[in-house]
Amino acid sequence: MVRHVNAGKTLPHNAVAITFDDGLGSNYHLGYPILKELGLPATIFLATGFVDGTHPLWFQEVDRALRARGASTAELFAKLGQLKRLPDAEMRAEVAKLTADCAAAHPEVTLPMRWDQAREMKASGLIEFGGHTHSHPILARCTVEQQAEEIRQCCDRITAELGAAPTLFAYPNGGPTDFTADTQRLLAEHGFEASFTMMPARLVSGLTTQALPRYGNPTSMLEAEATVSGAFELLKQWRGGAA
């Protein structure tokens, strides 16, 4: 798909790219068998510190700590929203305070995949691996130097473990204010050909390859059908025309 966008070509009819973020073990245990059975390719964007076991995903840590205290889903989302707006160093300090006394176990579904599992999936020819930083910061909340280090570490770890440098990247959180022009420059300097956001839209020719859109994980079969059918895009066009 990236090659089509770069060349200004129209995508094949009903073309879909499947992606997963972070490097969760469930990608291997649950997703990979289905993809293999159906012969469907996919890209998994790895937060390499998470896969290394050295950097737990900070938002999972917040979830674990607040759930242990009996917080509601609404309270959790509110706290995550507050934390995402902070500079990265301040956010990390707040997360450390929140989780300092939490002894709750990590749910199995939140655990990372192992590198040997990633190598197995890569060897199948179905799964490609991209970058997703090392410790999963929101890059726009980092200094330029921190951004460069996050991107470099991520690239180096994937290259070392999987034998090839990644060429695709997904921005953590992926909103329009979660990356900067410096982020895009650094990614290009590290050899990334395209980067993906979480801004929902279809791929069309003329898009910048350092801010490609993606749809999030549907929460129901109805939402999935509406997404792939183009119903959401038609609704957006209708609203735009009515405005």
CATH number of the domain where residue 189 is located: 3.20.20.370
* Same domain? 33 vs 131: yes
Within-domain flag for 220: no
Within-domain flag for 242: no
Within-domain flag for 225: no
Distances in whole angstroms, Cα of residue 15 to Cα of each of 2, 172, 203, 228, 240: 12, 24, 10, 10, 25
Closest C-alpha among 154, 176, 173 to residue 165: 154
Q: What is the pLDDT of residue 97?
A: 96
* Same domain? 64 vs 149: no
Q: How does DSSP classify residue 212?
A: B
The model's pLDDT over 61-104, given as tens digits with 9 standing for 90+, comes to 999 999 999 999 999 999 999 999 999 999 999 999 999 999 89
Within-domain flag for 189: yes
Q: Is the pLDDT of residue 239 over 70?
A: no
Instruction: Give the rounded distance of the alpha carbon of 177 from its chain centre.
Output: 15
Q: Which of 10-14, 103-107, 111-115, 231-235 has the largest mean confidence? A: 111-115
* Same domain? 46 vs 72: no
Burial of residue 58 (number of CB atoms within 10 Å: 0-12, 13-18, 19+): buried
* Same domain? 146 vs 115: yes
The total number of structural domains in the chain stands at 2
pLDDT band at 221 (very low <50, low <70, confident <90, very high): confident
Q: What is the pLDDT of residue 237?
A: 67
* Same domain? 52 vs 64: no
The model's pLDDT over 164-219, given as tens digits with 9 standing for 90+, comes to 999 999 999 999 999 999 999 999 999 999 999 999 988 877 788 999 999 998 88
* Same domain? 39 vs 150: yes
* Same domain? 81 vs 191: no
Q: What is the pLDDT of residue 240?
A: 63
* Same domain? 8 vs 97: no
* Same domain? 92 vs 180: no
Q: Is the pLDDT of residue 242 over 60?
A: no
Within-domain flag for 116: yes
User: Could you give the CA distance from residue 210 to residue 72 in angstroms, rounded to a whole number?
Assistant: 36
* Same domain? 124 vs 175: yes
Q: Is the pLDDT of residue 243 over 90?
A: no
* Same domain? 70 vs 177: no
Structural domain of 165: 2-56+108-212
Percent of the chain, pLDDT > 70?
97
Closest C-alpha among 235, 170, 222 to residue 197: 170
* Same domain? 42 vs 89: no
